[in-house]
Structure 1
């Protein structure tokens, strides 16, 4: 999987995340730029405006980390843009979700 830098998004031009989810409460270094992430939302990448994942372009994916005992230390994170409406989003994803065709190897 190839990640691409979103050249249209910078911290000074960041668009607000218009959803019913909680406001971003922490900063994360997803991809190559600084992106806000929802600390309370965990879900599969889906455009809230279009209500589908059909037009989702993954900007970056950070897999979950595990402790030595096998417990999840941190959830995976994803940053993506909807190519239909051009909305950007970033948040945690369930441990069971990985990008299509992605494998650790």
Structure 2
């Protein structure tokens, strides 16, 4: 299966095409490479803007005094964001991968 097809399907969120690719790739090394690649390409892991926003969410404005209460509120918001993201990814993973529990295990590691 062509990596470009898989990448394009992922970018366009074409779940049917993604599922076909995942099924074919699962026949090679149990699909481990495809699962790891999918997780590694999630914006929460590679998008610098997402990571910077998460840092700002926890630490707040750098000019402001970072108090324990502000950090606690920021962490609470970050945990909620992570939970929401994992729920969305779980729906996609379940629709796409033949072994969704294995992919979820990689995602939450």
Higher relative contact order (CA 8 A, sep 6+): 2
Which has the larger strand fraction? 1
Q: TM-score under structure 1 normalisation?
A: 0.22
